[in-house]
Amino acid sequence: MDKVLDKLGIYELVAVLLSGVCALGTTYFVDELIFHLGISQHINPDDTAIFLILSYLFGTVLQELGSLITKSITNKNDRLLKQALDVNRANHYITAIELAQISALVQSKLHLETTPDINTVYNYCKHSGGNSPQADKDQSIAAFSRSLALYFFAIAISVLLYALSTSYLCFLFLGIVLFAVALILGFRSTRFYKLRYAKIVRQFYYIYLNENNKIHRDDAP
């Protein structure tokens, strides 16, 4: 099992496996507290190998559903990318000077007659040295938060419906808390996706500046 875990990348470990572990563990807890379906009796959480396999499968389903929701709703038409590189927002992730110089640089590199759009700027930066371990880490955290946001939203709805249908209003508060956790995780996911976009663009820009400065220093008499 240790060898299998070693072969998994950070994205698979955090966004898929860890989210599955958290979701499956929470499912055991909620079932014991509310639903009493005996899930822990049918699936023994003490069996580490089985628990990790089921967690990975659970996490994979959440990741794929989350990815579908992101593409069709939250990041439709590259909305998150546009927000991340919008210098007019109050809490902007990149300055107007940086974005202007990056756009001019990409325009020059691609020999474009007009200023490139945000998507072109980002894609060029990403595939020209802008990606980094930190950006990959942000992507993993964003996907992890997205999967758990989806899970907690589903479990919150289930708890709320159960509380209303059975008149166990004592569980109504728990359902509201779970829904609040889902919202917090959703906001956290979008924030880290925006941070990743901005870091990739900025990373490319400052690597380019450092390399040019090095060339100028080497050429100096």
End-to-end Cα distance, the chain: 58
Q: Pick 97 or 45 by higher pLDDT.
A: 97
Is pTM beyond 0.85? Reply is: yes
Condensed to tens digits (0 to 9), the pLDDT of residues 54-108 reads 999 999 999 999 999 999 999 999 999 999 999 998 888 999 999 999 999 999 9
Condensed to tens digits (0 to 9), the pLDDT of residues 23-32 reads 999 998 888 8
Q: How far, in Å, CA of 85 to CA of 118, rounded? A: 7
Condensed to tens digits (0 to 9), the pLDDT of residues 165-213 reads 887 778 888 899 999 999 999 999 999 999 999 999 999 999 988 887 6
Q: Is the pLDDT of residue 215 over 90?
A: no
How large is the average pLDDT for residues 12-17? 91
Q: What is the pLDDT of residue 217?
A: 45
CB distance 150 to 218 below 8 Å: no
Q: What is the pLDDT of residue 100?
A: 94
CB distance 172 to 163 below 8 Å: yes
Q: How far, in Å, CA of 74 to CA of 164, rounded? A: 30
DSSP 75: T
Question: Which residue carries 């956290």 as its tokens?
Answer: 188
Which range (47-51, 74-78, 110-114, 131-135) has the least confidence?
Answer: 47-51
Helices and strands in the chain, H and E counts: 10, 0
Report CA 115 to chain centroid distance, whole Å: 29
What is the token pair recorded at 13?
A: 């470990």
Give CA torsion, residues 168, 169, 173, 179, to 10 deg. 70
